A and B are shown apart, each in its own frame.
Chain A
Amino acid sequence: MLVRPSSDDLRTIAFSLGTIFHIAGVAGVVPLLWAAFGREWAPLSSFALMIGVFLIGGSLLQRHPPASKTLEWSHGMVVVAVTWITVPLIGSIPLAMSGHFGDLLDAYFDAMSGLTTTGLSLLQDLDHLAPSLNFWRHLLHFLGGQGIIIAALSLFAGGAGLTLYYGEARDEKILPSVTSTARFIWGVALVHLVFGVAALALTAWLGLGFTPGRSLFHGLMIFFAGFDTGGFAPQSTSLGYYHSALFEAVTAVLMVAGAMSFGLHFALWRAPGRRRRGEPARRSTLWSLETRSIVATFGITLVLTFIGLAALGIHDSVLGMARQGVFHVLSAHTGTGFATIGSAELATWGGLAFGGMAIAMALGGMASSTAGGVKALRVGLTVRTVRDQMREVLLPERALMSRSYRQGGRRRELTPKVSQAVMTVSLLYVALFLLGAGVGLAYGYPLEAALFESVSAGANVGLSVGLTDPSMPVLLQVVYLLQMWLGRLEFAAAFVLVGFLWAWWRGR
């Protein structure tokens, strides 16, 4: 029998959601101050309205606190799923008021794309957008990538936050408590923020000849979009704007850092300390199944793309092909979505180049990172499962087989339950990609373009071959919105929300 959620369940969910609204409102003060200092009065008004809605909404949601502060598994999942729908809704207020979007849905699309670190955009005339609004779009990447929920955990949730943490598709607890893990994640982000922005700004200032102020602006924007594998850019020509191999290289380092799991970050951060104490380096932590998987798939997709580009004959020089090939495959595989060529040219990458890019986008980065896609650990476990199945068939019937894999410095058992879970999520991703591609095909777009754009939306990448455009059909836009949301949450929280609503409607 379905049990209808009690009023205390709803109050528990509303209370947590209220906390997240308050945090989002406080985050909105940063672009408001930016607008005030830049004397950008119209954006300032819209930021004030957005902050007001976040604060009053958060306080109203917390008006009737629950009797019990315990956040159960289903509560946390619902909070996460609703957060990722409502925060972009309110966060799109300044965008909608900017005059750079055709309608409210377009503005919501951009805010959802920002928060889910996708990077597809329907903004028109980006080159004349107010810097404070541009900053807000990129800050959405940072809030979504590092997780506003992670912020809530590190500040308020304490032990009750485990379910929120997992709900946001982060499956690796690095430190004993979720709160300390959340604080570590924000610590990593802030250290990268300082060094990343400094490296990019210095490159722009000394290498590209930009003014110091503009160098800092570009450094900050590209850091947010690169480290959080988002893909928005401050200018309409994305990374192609900079015409600099050095700038691309610095950005690539940040993209890789963003696609690395926080467990791997933790291991790398602790490595110097271990060396100082004379302890042996934990090679197994660094060279885990996940690391090997992502290195292998990056290599394979890069080779495919190189062969494809060579066959297309676009480039006269090997160096040019290598630079563009490596950057774009890295951008696709990490789920960032930066490009140094226009969408019209990317659309001409047919054959193996298309295949390499699409596969790289679909596979994505590491688990517990800011990247989207199927994720390297699932790819590795899928391959391991298939290999074990084949071995089982080939070995004598009574032979004993060890089924395990190395991850996070430990050997873990590859149980049928783990294999089943991995396969299920992987298949759901395939279904998600096919959904968008099918709708695109139904509207008459070519198969390759429809599939490319769908994978880009579902895997939260943001590379585009031109389908994502202000004139796109509304239904396709809604499907991409759904794909971005589902892809970011990796399905679980979304399914729990649907189940919760069903129980509310049909339960007793």
Chain B
Amino acid sequence: MMRRALATLLLLLLWAAPAGAQEDVVAVADLLADPASFAAPAVSSITVVGELVGDYGGRDGHVWTQINDDAYAAAPLLAGGSLAGGNVGIGVRIPDGLFSIARSDTPGGYRHRGPIVRITGAWRHHDPDRGGESYLDAETMELVAHEQPLDEGLRPIPLIVGVVLGAGGVALWIDDRRRARFR
């Protein structure tokens, strides 16, 4: 119950904050459906709000990571969220200086909802300077919510059943070998 309330609160945070910038936010699903129409330089910048997941790969004065704006960013499964299809994310390149506000937060993964950030930047679609890769080249970044540790406890019943079955299997196997020796 508490988890659901937290998830709802986060959803509200995502959609309520900076009303001015809200209008420019692009859904990653829309971006992926028609990536060319958002591409720089024709479109100077776009804004994406979502969860940083995976790894923070530091190279060449930038941090490379992935931003997801799917349902799991707002309501992680381990916080009571429902299944809502596959992840929806894009690669993002963030200058080291900008990234400092989120560096201490663990990226999203198992038992972690990563930091929620609002990133504005140029959508480099098949960037010729990077061998045709597509990514969001961040120009500004704002931390909307810090990482959220999640919990998943032990399930005693499957564990006990598994141990009993396994022990039974090993005992039968040993008994079979013993009987085979006497045959």
- Partner-binding segment picked from A54-62, A75-83, A484-492: A54-62
Contact (Cβ within 8 A) B126 A48: no
Contact (Cβ within 8 A) A46 B169: no
- Partner-binding segment picked from A180-188, A239-247, A443-451: A239-247
Cα distance, A208 to B170, chains bound together (Å): 45
Contact (Cβ within 8 A) B83 A128: no
The answer to whether the Cβ of B121 comes within 8 Å of any Cβ in the partner chain is no
Contact (Cβ within 8 A) A49 B159: yes
Query: Known interface pairs A236-B86, A243-B64, A320-B126. Does A128 touch B170 (Cβ–Cβ under 8 Å)?
Result: no
Kindly list chain A residues whose C-beta atoms are within 8 Å of the C-beta of B72.
Answer: 125, 127-128
Contact (Cβ within 8 A) B89 A237: yes
Contact (Cβ within 8 A) B158 A97: yes
Kindly list chain A residues whose C-beta atoms are within 8 Å of the C-beta of B127.
Answer: 320
The answer to whether the Cβ of B130 comes within 8 Å of any Cβ in the partner chain is yes
Number of chain B residues whose Cβ lies closer than 8 Å to a Cβ of chain A: 65
Q: Which of B63, B111, B134, B165 contacts A53 (CB 8 A)?
A: B165
Q: Which of B77, B87, B126, B170 contacts A316 (CB 8 A)?
A: B126
Q: Which of A40, A123, A317, A471 contacts B132 (CB 8 A)?
A: A317
Cα distance, A320 to B126, chains bound together (Å): 7
Cα distance, A241 to B164, chains bound together (Å): 41
Query: Known interface pairs A63-B176, A240-B91. Does A126 touch B86 (Cβ–Cβ under 8 Å)?
Result: yes
Most buried by B among A47, A56, A218: A56
- Partner-binding segment picked from A154-162, A296-304, A341-349, A390-398: A341-349
Contact (Cβ within 8 A) A127 B108: yes
Kindly list chain B residues whose C-beta atoms are within 8 Å of the C-beta of A60.
Answer: 169, 172
CB distance from B32 to the nearest CB of A (A): 5
Kindly list chain A residues whose C-beta atoms are within 8 Å of the C-beta of B58.
Answer: 209
Contact (Cβ within 8 A) A51 B166: yes
The answer to whether the Cβ of A470 comes within 8 Å of any Cβ in the partner chain is yes
- Is the interface on chain A under 10, 10 to 19, 20 to 34, or 35 or more residues? 35 or more
Query: Known interface pairs A100-B77, A317-B128, A319-B128. Does A65 touch B162 (Cβ–Cβ under 8 Å)?
Result: no
Kindly list chain A residues whose C-beta atoms are within 8 Å of the C-beta of B162.
Answer: 45, 47-53
Q: Which of A49, A101, A102, A340 contacts B161 (CB 8 A)?
A: A49
Cα distance, A222 to B54, chains bound together (Å): 15
Q: Which of B78, B83, B153, B163 contacts A124 (CB 8 A)?
A: B83
CB distance from A344 to the nearest CB of B (A): 5
CB distance from A358 to the nearest CB of B (A): 21
Cα distance, A314 to B68, chains bound together (Å): 24
The answer to whether the Cβ of B180 comes within 8 Å of any Cβ in the partner chain is yes
The answer to whether the Cβ of A315 comes within 8 Å of any Cβ in the partner chain is yes
CB distance from B176 to the nearest CB of A (A): 6
The answer to whether the Cβ of A323 comes within 8 Å of any Cβ in the partner chain is yes
Contact (Cβ within 8 A) A45 B154: yes
Q: Which of B53, B83, B110, B165 contacts A40 (CB 8 A)?
A: B110
The answer to whether the Cβ of A310 comes within 8 Å of any Cβ in the partner chain is no
The answer to whether the Cβ of A207 comes within 8 Å of any Cβ in the partner chain is yes
Contact (Cβ within 8 A) B76 A128: yes
Chain A contacts with B in 182-220, Cβ cutoff 8 A: 204, 207-211, 214, 218
Contact (Cβ within 8 A) B110 A41: no
Chain A contacts with B in 286-338, Cβ cutoff 8 A: 314-317, 319-321, 323-324
Contact (Cβ within 8 A) A49 B126: no
Contact (Cβ within 8 A) A209 B164: no
What are 19 of the A-B contact pairs (CB < 8 Å)?
A41-B154, A45-B155, A52-B163, A52-B165, A59-B168, A60-B172, A128-B110, A204-B57, A208-B57, A209-B64, A211-B55, A235-B53, A240-B91, A241-B66, A243-B93, A316-B126, A317-B131, A341-B134, A470-B85
Top 10 A-B pairs ranked by shortest CB distance?
Answer: A320-B132, A55-B169, A52-B165, A48-B162, A317-B128, A59-B172, A236-B87, A52-B162, A49-B162, A209-B58
Besides A52-B169, A62-B172, A126-B86, 5 more A-B contacts (Cβ < 8 Å) are A124-B86, A125-B77, A127-B53, A209-B64, A471-B85
